[in-house]
Each structure stands twice: as C-alpha cells, then as structure tokens.
Amino acid sequence: MEKRIILLPGDGIGKEILEAAVKVLHVVEEKFNHRFVYETHAIGGNAIDRFGVPLTDETVNACKNADAVLLGAVGGPKWDNVPADIRPEKGLLKIRKELGLFANLRPIKAFASLLHASPLKEHIIKDSDILIVRELTSGIYFGKPSERRENGKVVVDTLYYERYEIERIVDKAFQFARMRKKKLTSVDKANVLESSRVWREIVNEKSSLYPDVEVEHLLVDAASMKLITNPSQFDVLVTENMFGDILSDEASVLTGSLGMLPSASIRSDQFGLYEPIHGSAPDIAGKGMANPIGMILSAALMLRFSFVMEEEASAIEAAVNETLSDGYHTADLQIENGTKLSTNEITEVITEKLQSTITGKKFSNV
Amino acid sequence: MEKRIILLPGDGIGKEILEAAVKVLHVVEEKFNHRFVYETHAIGGNAIDRFGVPLTDETVNACKNADAVLLGAVGGPKWDNVPADIRPEKGLLKIRKELGLFANLRPIKAFASLLHASPLKEHIIKDSDILIVRELTSGIYFGKPSERRENGKVVVDTLYYERYEIERIVDKAFQFARMRKKKLTSVDKANVLESSRVWREIVNEKSSLYPDVEVEHLLVDAASMKLITNPSQFDVLVTENMFGDILSDEASVLTGSLGMLPSASIRSDQFGLYEPIHGSAPDIAGKGMANPIGMILSAALMLRFSFVMEEEASAIEAAVNETLSDGYHTADLQIENGTKLSTNEITEVITEKLQSTITGKKFSNV
Ligand SMILES: [Mg+2]
Ligand SMILES: [Mg+2]
C-alpha cells in the first residue's frame, strides 16, 4: 500500500525523534511491502524564523493532500517574546482546526518495566489500558459568547455543542471500543448540565447501533476518582472537550511514563495527525539524548487508525515493549540494572526487535 | 462561650455518627469551659417520611438562628422512587442555598497509619495536607441559559460569574492560607476561558491585601496532574465550582481514607454547615459498625471555622490521629495488628484520648 505522509518536525527535539520514527517505519515498509512517501514541512518556531508565521498555507495544503501527518513538537524559549497571535503553539491549534481534526485520542498503557515510576501503587496501575477519546473542536473552549458584561461586573463563557458534533465523536468512540475490549465509558455531568443530558441521550441512541459494545455512564467527578482508584476498569473513555482536557491529563501521569505517550487527532475519514504528548525539550535538543518512544508509538497509532494496519502497529508496540523489558532506556528513564542508550541506539534496538518479531511470525502479506 | 448548634442527623448512619460527634464535643465543652446548645431537626428521607418534603421551613429557620449546623448524611434506597423534586439530596442542595453557603471546604490530609490504603505510593502521599476551597453557588452549574435550541440541534450551558462571587471566595481562600502554610494555589483555565481570566485578575488584585501569602496560578489540567504526582506541594487550593467539583473528588481518593474526610460549607460571616463527605450507608445503619471519624472531624472543622476555637479543633484532630496510630479502627478500615472497634467503642477511645491530651497540656482557658 502506498501512503503519503507529511513530516512536521517542529522545534527542539522534534527533528531527532521524527527521524527515529521514520527509521522504524522503514522496517515496516520493507517487511510488509508498503511504500511510504514523505514530505517535510515547517511548523512552530522554525516556521516563524523562516516565514514569519508558525504555519504557512503551503504546509496546510501539503497536509490536506496527504494521508497522514507526523508531528514532533513545537515551541521553545527562543520564541517567548513573539506576538501572541503567532506563537509556535498557534501553529498547532491552527493545523488541527484547518484539518478539521475533532477527535483527540490518548492511549494510556502501563509498561511493565516502568511501573516503579508510576505515582500509583503497582497493583493498581498494572493492567491499565485506556483509550481516551476527547472532543477537540467545540464545547466551552470555543463557544460564544465568551465575554465581560456590565462594565466587568459579570463574565460568561458558553458551553456550546451542535448535535452532529456529539454524534460524530460518540460514533468514533464506539468504533474504537469495537476494535478493543468492547467497553465504552461515557463521561458527562448529566445531573447538572443540559449539554451533558444531550450527550448522554446521544450515547444511548448510538448504543443500539453497536449492541456488542457495553456502555457505562459516569459523572465527571466520579471519573476523576476512578481513574486513580481503579484505572484498569476502563477500556474506551469518551467525553467532551473540557472534561477530556482535565481527565486525559490526569490519566497521562498515572503510568509514570508521560514522556512516552503518543496521541492522535483525527476526523471522520481516515486522515489523522499524530504526535507525542511531550514538549520540544529545547534543553536537550541536538544532544542525542531524547527519548523517541512517544514519537515511535505515535507512528504506530498512525498505522492503526489512518492506514488500518493493525498488525504493523502491534508489531511496533511489541518491539518497544520488548526493548524496555530488556532494560534498554534513554536518559529520562531509570530501569534497575538497565542499559542507558542514546536516541539513535535505542532506535536501533527497536528496529532490530521489529525486524526479528516480524520475521519470526508468519504474516499473510510478507 | 455559648454556641447554638443544629443537629441534622438525616438518614442511614447519620444518627449514630452524629451522636458520636456530640460525645466528643461534650468533652470539649467541659474541658474548655464552653456551652453548646443542641437542637435536632429532620432532613432528607426521614423528613420526607414525616413531612412529605426533604427540608421544612421550620428546619431552615432553626438553622438561620443558630451558630452552626452539623449534618450526618441523607438518602437511601427507601426513597429511590420519590418524585425528583423532593428527593432526599434536594434537602441538602436547598439548605446550602437557603443559608447562602458559597464556599465548600475540603481538607485532605493523609493519616500516617492508613497510608497503605492509599492508591498512591506512600512516599508521594505521605506529607500531603491540602485544603480545597470550592465556589459552591455559582458558575456553570447554575448559569442561564442552560437549554436546547433549534429543535434540539444545539445545546448550551452558561458559565456565569459575578465579580463579587469570585471576590468573596478568593478572600476566604487567602484567609485560610494565612491560618495555614501561607501558600495559595489558584486553579483556572485562563489560557482559554474569559471567566478564568477575570478569576486570575481578581486573585492578583486580592493578593496585594495578603502580601504574606505566596500565590501560584495553575491551569486546571495541570492541577489534575500535580494532585497525583506531587500532592504535598499544595497548601490551600481555590477554584470555581465545576473545577472544584472535579478536583476535590479527585483529591478525596488520594489518601485512601475517603470515608473519614470532613467538609464544611460556609459563607462570609462565621456561620457554617459541617458534614462528612461519605454517604448514609443504609446497609450498615443501626448496626454499630459505622465509622464516626468523618463526622467527628467535621465537628472539629466547625470549632475551627465557625467558633474560632483552633486549640479545641486541633485537640480533637490529635485525638483521632492518636487513636488510629494506636491501631484502633472501625470495620471499614484495615490496620495491620490493629484492633477493630464498634462506633461506640472507637468514640470512647477518641474521647479518652481527648481528655488526656487536654489535661496533659496547659490551655489558657481551662
Ligand atoms: Mg491539557
Ligand atoms: Mg462531586
């Protein structure tokens, strides 16, 4: 299969980790007989340096004509003093908006060899494997009016949703639940908010289209507790923008490996933008120390969600897991009796594992 | 000092735990030379049984004429089928509203002898001592419009605040910070919400009135992470209603002793309503098994916040701590090599500890 991928390295360690991910994808191409065509464009601080804006129309158009986008990270102290409307982060917000990416996906999975780094007791976090599906382009972060009134005596923000915006994200979540353990937890505040009552109704309506998926409703305050006391009870968790912002960040620290978590921003067709949730880490940029795993796992998500290459995605994840289990790690992690490697070295180990995992199995399309 | 206290036992275990708290208060009266006058009224399910509504005007008026209110818990399966507008919980919402209690306080403190029950690793939760101050009577849970539009195609909720509502809760939080470690963390989403920008401005304005208090601003998503990764960095955390709902529930599970956490709902004068955060536990009601500690610690909060009896409040807290350290516990807890006691027995131990703590110290007013 041929796929066109836009690479947006961005700033700081973005370039190094994206190169690592491409090396891993080369093995997938070879072994599974795919062809990935890459095109690199600027975003963030380096786009400001070159073009005066964090995102050019050219980059946007290139993304629109591609099958998927891989993004490193943006920002850094170098651009602390640029005007607010052209800050590096604005490039990120703009590209999500221009591409209509309404669903943010955050898989949270504990790595067995890193449980010691979790703030939770190991028996609690151990078997957790959660996919958080967050609505990303509507709700109170975008609703109007959002203003001061009566000379500043009053202030309002508006939580605004259109029915179709809820329907499409709920549909996505049901589809993911179907690809996983077939359990969907919908989080709302239906005992208080009208928008949450509509949300819950839509989940219940859609539920009849996915009779094989078990549905549970949970209030957002209860969800914030259960993520801590019983994270392994979740499979897919779907929620609106603001609740998703809070809960996905809460969930991201549970495993203790925040620096290695991937994410995806997608829409109703198969197009998506994939990026690690960590930042651009300008302090270690160019030193060969960066941990490329969040980026590599983001590439795996791209294979799974945009290219429907589940076998390929799983093979990458297995190679990463095995690498960590063998005690290989980068400078940001600690594994007892482990081996500390550079960005290139750990990428090498992962690609080797991937080679042998794939060769060791019988894949229909090899 | 003479104080009039309204007792609202409510349903389930409410009566037992409130009796326990009153026994503890009797020791305080005696030893510190105070006089507490009690009056008991109905609320919740038992009020429905007797008067057809979960809260009568008579109860409201009695509360209005008192110095403070102690509440047990409301609700139970017996009232599952009463009409929505007279459910037991409505009694609770109504009394908070009638009394103008705009600030909800939740102290979260880990008990050394119960750290094993925390979902967090012990070294992370160990020194935590947080006071969450949540705005309780405004924000998106009360804002209008909250409605469907265009035949259900659109739905909106409104996050509405008046300046004075933010000012008074922020003032309260600064005052509490002053009574504690002088650090205030204000939580908002000022990078997105206009109401949060006003909130942050008001915190910064008020800050000049409390130069001895260190102020930190934290975005709500970052706060949801830090509560887990570094809970001991917080002292007083103040936030608006919905963020407070989510974060205070998240924080309540961190110590592993949710069943023992007290709470207060107060206003600008010294009046307040005090209740444990746990429910009415109808399954164990009347069996002498209930854990009265959440209620007893709520009574201690009443002494601290409504009666400005810090020494008395601390003495109760010390007695509870010592009781747990000695391994005494109720059926809901487990302490290795500990002694399981009934509601009455553990209350007895706590009152004895309180007696001897007080007698052992020199208090100015004994
Ligand atoms: Mg966030
Ligand atoms: Mg709550």
Are A195 and B229 an interchain contact pair (Cβ–Cβ within 8 Å)?
no
Interface predicted TM-score (ipTM) of this complex, two decimals: 0.93
Does B363 have pLDDT greater than 60?
Answer: no
Residues 6+ apart with CB under 8 A from A283: none
Q: Which CATH architecture has domain B108-256?
A: 3-Layer(aba) Sandwich (3.40)
Is B162 an interface residue toward A (CB < 8 Å)?
Answer: yes
The pLDDT value given to residue A147? 97
- Check if the beta carbon of residue A2 is closer than 8 Å to that of residue A66: no
A146: chain B residues, CB-CB within 8 Å:
193-194
Q: B262 labelled as ligand-binding?
A: no
Are B157 and A242 an interchain contact pair (Cβ–Cβ within 8 Å)?
no
Q: Do domains A1-99+271-366 and A108-258 have the same CATH topology?
A: yes
Listed by start position, the domains of chain B span: 1-99+271-366, 108-256
Mean pLDDT of B295-314: 97
B236-239 sheet: strands from edge to edge: B35-40, B2-10, B68-73, B272-276, B262-266, B103-109, B129-135, B236-239, B183-188, B214-219
A194: chain B residues, CB-CB within 8 Å:
146-148, 155-157
In this complex, the residue of B155, B160, B225 whose CB is nearest that of residue A195 is B155
pLDDT cut 90: percent of chain B above it:
89
pLDDT cut 70: percent of chain B above it:
98
Pick the closest to residue A106 from A175, A176, A166 (CA basis).
A176
Mean pLDDT of B82-106: 91
In this complex, the residue of B141, B143, B225 whose CB is nearest that of residue A249 is B225
Does B365 have pLDDT greater than 80?
Answer: no
| Bigger pLDDT: B116 vs B84 | B116
The pLDDT value given to residue B93? 85
Q: A82 labelled as ligand-binding?
A: yes
A127 is catalytic: no
The pLDDT value given to residue A361? 59
The pLDDT value given to residue A193? 95
User: How far is the CA of B149 from the CAs of A22, A157, A204, B203, B312, in angstroms?
Assistant: 48, 17, 20, 35, 55
- DSSP class per residue in A160-201: EEEHHHHHHHHHHHHHHHHHTTSEEEEEE-TTT-HHHHHHHH
The pLDDT value given to residue B362? 47
B140: chain A residues, CB-CB within 8 Å:
140, 157, 159, 193
Interface test with A, best of B126, B161, B250, B258 (most A CBs within 10 A): B250
Residue A284 CA to its chain's centroid (Å):
22
B277 Cα: distance to centroid of ligand 2 (angstroms): 10
In this complex, the residue of B155, B194, B229 whose CB is nearest that of residue A198 is B155
- Check if the beta carbon of residue B75 is closer than 8 Å to that of residue B279: yes
DSSP-derived letter for residue A120 is B
The pLDDT value given to residue B257? 84
Interface test with A, best of B155, B192, B263, B277 (most A CBs within 10 A): B155
What count of CB pairs under 8 Å joins A to B? 144
The pLDDT value given to residue A358? 74
The pLDDT value given to residue B364? 45
Are A253 and B157 an interchain contact pair (Cβ–Cβ within 8 Å)?
no
Whether the ω angle into residue A145 lies within 30 degrees of 0, i.e. cis, is yes
Q: What is the pLDDT along chain A (366 residues), one digit of tens a residue?
A: 899 999 999 999 999 999 999 999 999 999 999 999 999 999 999 999 999 999 999 999 999 999 999 999 999 999 988 888 888 988 988 998 899 999 999 999 988 889 999 999 999 999 999 999 999 999 999 999 999 999 999 999 999 999 999 999 999 999 999 999 999 999 999 989 999 999 999 999 999 999 999 999 999 999 999 999 999 999 999 999 999 999 999 999 999 888 899 999 999 999 999 999 999 999 999 999 999 999 999 999 999 999 999 999 999 999 999 999 999 999 999 888 999 999 999 999 999 999 997 776 544 443
- DSSP class per residue in A293-341: HHHHHHHHHHHHHTS--HHHHHHHHHHHHHHHHTTEE-TT---TT-EE-
Does B2 have pLDDT greater than 50?
Answer: yes
Are B221 and A245 an interchain contact pair (Cβ–Cβ within 8 Å)?
yes
Mean pLDDT of B272-276: 98
Structure tokens of A298?
């983001």
A249 Cα: distance to centroid of ligand 1 (angstroms): 6
Structure tokens of A41?
């464009």
- Check if the beta carbon of residue B79 is closer than 8 Å to that of residue B88: yes
Taking the C-alpha atoms of A115, A117, A118 and A120 in order, what is their torsion angle to the nearest 10 degrees? 90
B245 Cα: distance to centroid of ligand 2 (angstroms): 5
A249 is catalytic: yes
Are A158 and B158 an interchain contact pair (Cβ–Cβ within 8 Å)?
yes
Is A222 an interface residue toward B (CB < 8 Å)?
Answer: yes
Q: Which CATH number fits domain A108-258: 3.30.1330.100, 3.40.50.720, 3.40.718.10, 3.40.50.10680?
A: 3.40.718.10
Ligand with the closest atom to the CA of A222? 2
Chain B nearest-CA distance from A94, in A, is 15
The pLDDT value given to residue B361? 59
Does B80 have pLDDT greater than 90?
Answer: no
Strand partners, A38: A5
Ligand with the closest atom to the CA of B220? 1
Is B283 an interface residue toward A (CB < 8 Å)?
Answer: no
B-contacting residues in A 125-154 (Cβ below 8 Å) = 140-141, 143, 146-148, 152-154
Mean pLDDT of B109-122: 92
Alpha helices in chain B (DSSP H): 14-32, 45-51, 57-64, 88-98, 122-125, 163-179, 194-207, 220-229, 241-252, 293-305, 310-325, 343-360
The pLDDT value given to residue B218? 97
Pick the closest to residue A262 from A272, A250, A274, A276 (CA basis).
A276
Question: Which backbone phi and psi does A301 adopt, to 5 degrees?
Answer: -60, -40
- Mean pLDDT in chain B? 95
Mean pLDDT of B124-143: 96
The pLDDT value given to residue A362? 47
CA-nearest residue of chain A to B244? A221
Q: B50 labelled as ligand-binding?
A: no
Mean pLDDT of B151-158: 98
A206 is catalytic: no
DSSP-derived letter for residue A4 is E
- Check if the beta carbon of residue B240 is closer than 8 Å to that of residue B188: yes
Fold entry, domain A1-99+271-366 = Isopropylmalate Dehydrogenase (3.40.718)
Is B205 an interface residue toward A (CB < 8 Å)?
Answer: no
Q: B251 labelled as ligand-binding?
A: no
